[in-house]
Every structure is written in C-alpha cells, then in structure tokens.
Amino acid sequence: MFKLETIISLAKRRGFVFQSSEIYGGLNGCWDYGPLGVELLQNIKNAWWREMTFRDNIEGVDAAILMHPRTWDASGHTSQFSDPMIDNKTSKARHRADNLIEDFIDKMKKKKKNDIAEKIEVELEAAREPADFYNIIVNNQIPDPVSGTTDWTEVRNFNLMFKTFIGPIEDSSSAVYLRPETAQGIFVNFKNVMETGRQKVPFGIAQIGKAFRNEINTKNFLFRTREFEQMEMQYFIKPGSEQDWFEYWKEQRWNWYLSLGMKAEKMRWKVHNKLAHYANYAVDIEFEFPFGFGEIEGIHSRTDFDLKAHQEFSGKKLEYVDTVNGERFVPYVIETSGGVSRSLMAFLCNAYDEETVSDENGKSETRVVMRFSPKLAPIKVAVFPLVNKDGMPEKAQEIYQDLSKSFKSQYDTSGAVGRRYRRQDEIGTPFCVTIDGETLENGTVTIRERDSMEQIRISADKIKQYLFEKI
C-alpha cells in the first residue's frame, strides 16, 4: 500500500488538486481543483447524473445553498447536527471526541490489545451524550496524540453549520446557514417536483451540489473538508416497501462504483447499529484509503421523518395521493448520499499504481500509472508527432484538432516519445496516438493503450470510432 502523501503530491504536481488560497498559506479544510481535477470531478458527476436521472422516474433539481432557516429546525440540524469536541489543556489541540476514541481503538488493535479495543468499541457504540464520550476518554486514559497527556477539558457539543446573515443587518432574525447537506433542498421541493414532473410514487429526486460543515478536525486530504460536494438522491416510496427499495438501492450504488473501475476488494459494507435520528436502516459503502477504510457513500432508509417534519414546520401538506384508489400518505424515503470530492479521492487512490518496466534502451524504470476507467480519465487521448519536422507536426495538429471536438485531448511534442507516454500514464490518459513517417505515406497511426502498453496501427480516419468504442 502506498502512502497518502504520494497521492497528494501527484495531485498537486499534475494539477488535480491545490490547497485553497495557497499563496496566502492555504485555508484549512478547503481545496481547489486544478485543470485535471475539474475534469475528473466533472466526469464523476456526469457518470452519477446519467446513472441516476436517465430513468423515467428520477428528476433532477439544483436548489439554492442558502435556505429558509426553519428548514434546519425541521430537519433537526439546529438542535442535533453537532459533534462532541474535546481540548487538551497542555497542547491546546482540539479533537472530535469520537474520532479520538476511534483512533485509540485502532492503535490498540495494531498493538494486538484486542480485549481493550473491543471493550472501548462497545462503550463507543452506546455513547450518546458529551458526558459519555468524556467518560470513555478519561476512564480508559486515552492520551492526546500531540502532548501525550490526559489533561482534558469537558466534552462539549459543537454545531457544524456555518452561520451567516442575509441582508445588511446582522441580527438573529437575519441568520441563515450554508447548507450542511443537499438533501433538504430536495425535501422542500418534493411537491413542486412531483407535480411539475407528473411523477407517481415510487419516484426520486437527484441533486449534486456544494455542502458546508465546520468540521472540528479536517484531515486526510479530501476525506474530511469544510466545503465539499455531494451527490444525493431521495427516492419516495410507499410506506412498508422500504426494505425492498433499500436492498435495491444498495445493489445499484455498489455496482455503480464497480462500473467505474473501483476494485471490489477495496470496498466493503458498514452496517450502522447506531442510527441517526431519522433512519430505520443505514449502511455505508466504505473504501480502503491508505489510512484505512472510510465511508464514501451512505444508503439510508429515512422513513417519513423529513417530509413529516417539513409538513409540521411549514404547515403545508406534503402528502401523496394515489389517483387509482384515493389512498393518501406521506411517502417514506430511501436516500443515497455520496460525496463527490470524497469519491474523487477514492478514485485517485484506486487508480494509483507503480510498476517496473523497461525503457526504449532496455533499462528498467518505475512507471507511475493512474489506471482510471477511461470513462473517468481527465484526458482521453494524447497526440504526439514522432519528430518535430517532415510534416509530422502539421499532420498531428490536424488529427488533434479533430479529436478535440469529441474528446478532451492533449498535444505534446516535447521530449522522447517514451517520456511523453510516462507523462500521460501519470495522469491516466488511456490512449496515445503517435504520428510518424508511415502516417505521411499511408495514413496510419499507432494507438498505444495505457495499461497493456500495447500498440496497434490503424488508419487515422478510424481513430474516433476506435476511441468511442473503447470509452
């Protein structure tokens, strides 16, 4: 297993991800996507959008990030969207109490102290209130990873929503929040979408958009950030059918990751025993990052919690009426809630590979290759003239310009062809087209495939068709 630093360094070096406001020293928990990063991000979002909304009964929305503040009272975020926070008095380091305990459990497991780890795991499972987390930390003498001391403050709950003010006056009546999840933008539009889309239960609403959480600790690169993007779908169903639909969406979502090249052995299910206030079944799809397994998507059965709450808080009926038998009910909801940026990081880790190959002189060298699914690869094809003379650049430009109309392409003339291949391997470009002397004679080019490194010769006018088939 390679290190997370290897991915971070490649991401920066090749223009996938930069620190936010880097020239000012960066802003904690925020990241910027560079030229290749936006392509990858866009490809993930497009793949999700196609997968979810290219169905008769799933519609899309794009709700505003700022929502009526009552939304968050109804959803429970104002009172419950908080994490337990603890400070170490010696180092002044601030931790999320549950994460501090989890890290300690992992440490115990690594030291083969499984009985201690298991005991604390049981305690953590049962913890609800700040005092529960505090007792676990103090009773088990969990030390601060920074100072090594057990000199702790009390545990307090910290609300993760970012607050701001709408209009010129900063008082409590103008307070609004940056949405901490996209889901509520879907619930408040349930009726609008159902009516305008003439949808009947079961049907779904999908949304991709930014969400903001003032996380206590941000760590592990894109895994836990303060600004991130989510891709969420709420599927409205008849009460009583939730178990079947839950199973259906679990399978759909698992297979989506596989269809984009995610390795099955790097994924696993996590079943939640401790459920959020709104859920009656919940599982996560986890991916094995260099620092261990972590959630990339949650599939939750949310009952009628959200619609009922919005009905109560808004005074507007959010019912479904079955036109055939006149039955009225507030639909139940199965939610699929994935992180775009977190899955981008998973796709980066999943794609990274190093192998020893021999260069054109037979000398062995290390090849870094991002084995992205061609569907996700930021650049689909690179075009190289073998040498910068004899009419090759002109011909290569002609081919490149034509391919650029259909695929995100790159043109590269610098250095030996072997070096140019390596540069493309490192960003995961699945195909490279080389124009050489033979191209000028008989109109054929070589296409080299990234993973096998095999080269075939085909007629230049067949390149597009070949790429469409492969991508």
Task: Give the pair of three-digit tokens for residue 213.
Answer: 């959480």
Classify the C-alpha dihedral 165-167-169-174 as positive or negative: negative
Residue 57 or 99 with smaller CB distance to ligand ATP: 99
Window contacting ligand ATP (CB under 6 A); options: 65-73, 121-129, 294-302, 311-319: 294-302
Residue 29 or 428 with smaller CB distance to ligand ATP: 29
How far apart, in whole angstroms, are the C-alpha atoms of residue 319 and residue 304?
Answer: 10
Residue with smallest beta-carbon separation from ligand ATP: 339
Rule CB under 6 A: is residue 425 a binding residue for ligand ATP? no
Q: How far is the CB of 162 from ligand ATP (least distance, A)?
A: 12
Of 69, 32, 51, 49, residue with least CA distance to 221: 32
Rule CB under 6 A: is residue 103 a binding residue for ligand ATP? no
Task: Give the pair of three-digit tokens for residue 442.
Answer: 């008989």
Rule CB under 6 A: is residue 295 a binding residue for ligand ATP? yes
Largest CA-CA distance found in the chain, in angstroms, rounded = 80
Q: Is 250 helix (H, G, I), strand (E, B) or coil?
A: helix
Rule CB under 6 A: is residue 95 a binding residue for ligand ATP? no
Rule CB under 6 A: is residue 31 a binding residue for ligand ATP? no
Among 339, 374, 393, 428, indicate the residue that binds ligand ATP (CB under 6 A): 339
Q: Is 292 helix (H, G, I), strand (E, B) or coil?
A: strand
Q: How far is the CB of 144 from ligand ATP (least distance, A)?
A: 21
Produce one character per residue of 387-398: b if its CB has 16 or more CB atoms within 10 Å, e if not.
eeeeebbebbee
Rule CB under 6 A: is residue 336 a binding residue for ligand ATP? no
How far apart, in whole angstroms, are the C-alpha atoms of residue 439 and residue 250?
Answer: 50
Peptide linkage before 202 cis (omega within 30 of 0): yes
Classify the C-alpha dihedral 364-368-372-378 as positive or negative: negative
Q: How far is the CB of 220 from ligand ATP (least distance, A)?
A: 10
Q: How far is the CB of 230 from ligand ATP (least distance, A)?
A: 5
**DSSP 8-state code for residue 69:** T
Rule CB under 6 A: is residue 40 a binding residue for ligand ATP? no
State the binding string over 180-199 for ligand ATP (x if CB under 6 A, else -): -x------------------
How far apart, in whole angstroms, are the C-alpha atoms of residue 150 and residue 95?
Answer: 13
Rule CB under 6 A: is residue 215 a binding residue for ligand ATP? yes
- Residues that bind ligand ATP in the complex, under the rule CB under 6 A: 181, 213, 215, 224-225, 228, 230, 295-298, 337-339, 341-342
